[in-house]
Structure 1
């Protein structure tokens, strides 16, 4: 007798009942890493602060930066970006593509962030996807192209980068996100 392959498929309703920290990607649960370390937290805070400062300076209305919030994509996919810039989102849930997503890469998240989430954010039309590598003090910035692909726009360490959004522009000085002791 041949073994029958069984693959459990979970939904958003299942996800909402789980304890602990999870992401749900196309019906498959992924346990989140233990709480982020100090370097991760400092970088996340600085990214959020720089985005917020730029939003206020440039008058971007209805846009704000959030950390570690569930982005509910479909009935079987929920991801949690480290930092996201969202515009024109109302209510308590993020249900449409953020303008910018930042993922801070660690050895335990690198593969998922660089492949699976890269593809999800591309498919959903996230305008910019930024992979932040603390150990290298480098951020890789990908921009959504009109043909539906992501194109690498820059590798930045200490440079400034301007994110061109639908309603405004965000200028970000990447030298400010790196803690001195890493």
Structure 2
């Protein structure tokens, strides 16, 4: 979007966002509708990711797995990753506010035709700026997985595979060995 076009659009904030009905994300003051709801295959993959993360993090008390939650990055940026892992020395503090205000360590985005541009090109810039350590893109239709790791303020592709694959994520407080094969069963 050109600079002149962007200047003509209203610039929304978290206060505006709280008033909206339905599911939205707010990126640099611009609202993005999150409709229609994710397809059943997307939901199933997300649930399998969440289940596996819960099991892998049982012995890692400084990290928690979350499903979509408002992550308030700035007053004009509120995003909802599909699945995420947050790690902190004081992890209990993340439950005190109605939104997440610290960066996740690991983010999973399950892409669709409607979200691919945003998930592949817009959100990673925010994630890199906020120092998210790992970013995973999953295509439920092709069953392809791309795992990125933050290096020198940019995401570098660390692994790409179709359906069958594993990856070890070093979350600082623990290392988890995620089996991507299980999310497509």
Give the structure-1-normalised TM-score.
0.91
Determine the C-alpha separation between the residues in 2 that align with 1:168 and 1:155: 23
Shift, 1:65, TM fit? 0.8
| Aligned pairs (5 A) from 1:133-148 | 133-145=139-151, 147-148=152-153
Determine the C-alpha separation between the residues in 2 that align with 1:118 and 1:6: 25
SS in 1 for 2:54: helix
SS in 2 for 1:53: helix
**What's 1:21 paired with?**
23
**What's 2:132 paired with?**
126
**What's 1:37 paired with?**
39
Determine the C-alpha separation between the residues in 2 that align with 1:11 and 1:174: 36
SS in 2 for 1:139: strand
**What's 1:168 paired with?**
174
- 2:155 is the alignment partner of 1:150: yes
- 2:8 is the alignment partner of 1:6: yes
- Match for 1:104 among 93, 110, 116? 110
Shift, 1:166, TM fit? 1.0
Deviates more, 1:105-114 or 1:156-165: 156-165
RMSD between aligned alpha carbons?
1.6
What 5-or-longer segments of structure 1 have no aligned partner? Answer: none
What 5-or-longer segments of structure 2 have no aligned partner? Answer: none
SS in 2 for 1:13: helix
Contact map agreement 2:63 2:173 (CA 8 A) in 1: no
Determine the C-alpha separation between the residues in 2 that align with 1:33 and 1:41: 14
Give the aligned length. Answer: 174
- 1:90-131 C-alpha deviation (Å, 9 max, x unpaired): 224211110100000101000000000011111111110000
Give the structure-2-normalised TM-score.
0.90
Shift, 1:47, TM fit? 0.5
Determine the C-alpha separation between the residues in 2 that align with 1:33 and 1:84: 20
Determine the C-alpha separation between the residues in 1 that align with 2:177 and 2:100: 24
